[in-house]
Amino acid sequence: MTTAGQVAAFAGVIALAAASPGPDFAVVVRRSVVAGRRHGVVAGLGVATGVFVWSVAAAMGVAAVLRASAVAFTVVRLVGAAYLLWLGVSALLAARRGGGATGIPTEGGTRARLGVSFRDGVLCNILNPKCGVFFMAVLPQFVPMDGHPTDVLLLSSVAVAVTVAWFTVVATLVAALRRALARPRVRRALDALTGAVLVSLGLRLAATG
């Protein structure tokens, strides 16, 4: 059975991984700026959903199969890269126009679709096979050889909780600065920066095996 110490250590590893700048972080920041705190939090929930799927998949051996199959890994990797490129190009086009990105709401509240934010978070995470490889490498260090499925469920839940907590903080901080970030020049610069980061990450994901 997984001990409290192992759970705490695992939570620390997940916290470090979540805090590392990457596609998930960029998506949550952008959703927070474009549509407000609630959308940033929902995007974080989407990322956490992907984290849960990957952690369970790693425990079930699905991630191992994906890693062993060069074709499957490549397909998922390229689809994920294409999605990041789409998000990045959309942001760059928004910067050029000085408005919202294609398919992304520019207003908070009820008129903006929370589903878009959740979708972006889920797809950004779940289409990155390296997340599966990460959990495949990390989980065995915390789940005993004779571990029960409840151990996996516990650690997966911890991963989700840590991810949600982190991105809630990120969304809250970014939303607090939203008024300043919403200024036309700042907004265009942020769109350009976010777009460049997402395009760069997409190209990197496509180029690396």
Helices 4-19, 129-138: axis angle to 10 degrees equals 150
pLDDT digits (tens, 9 = 90+) for 160-180: 999 999 999 999 999 888 777
Q: Which residue has the tokens 């599966």?
A: 132
Average pLDDT over residues 108-116: 66
Question: Which carries the bigger pLDDT value, residue 1 or residue 157?
Answer: 157
Higher pLDDT, 35 or 52: 52
List the one residue out of 125, 175, 137, 152 whose CA is nearest residue 22. Answer: 125
Mean pLDDT, rounded, of the chain: 82
109 pLDDT above the threshold of 70? no
Return the pLDDT at 86. 83
What is the reported pTM?
0.75
Please compute the mean of the pLDDT values over residues 104-115 and round it to a whole number: 56
Round to whole Å and give the CA distance between 125 and 147.
26
In degrees, rounded to 5, the angle at the alpha carbon of residue 72 between the alpha carbons of residues 71 and 78 is: 85
Band the pLDDT of 209: cuts 50, 70, 90. low
pLDDT value of residue 105:
43
The whole-angstrom distance between residue 128's C-alpha and the CA centroid of its chain comes to 9
Q: What is the mean pLDDT of residues 95-112?
A: 52
Tens of pLDDT along 131-156? 888 888 888 778 765 567 888 889 99
pLDDT value of residue 4 = 87
Which is higher by pLDDT, 189 or 121? 121
Residues 181, 174 contacting (CB under 8 angstroms)? yes
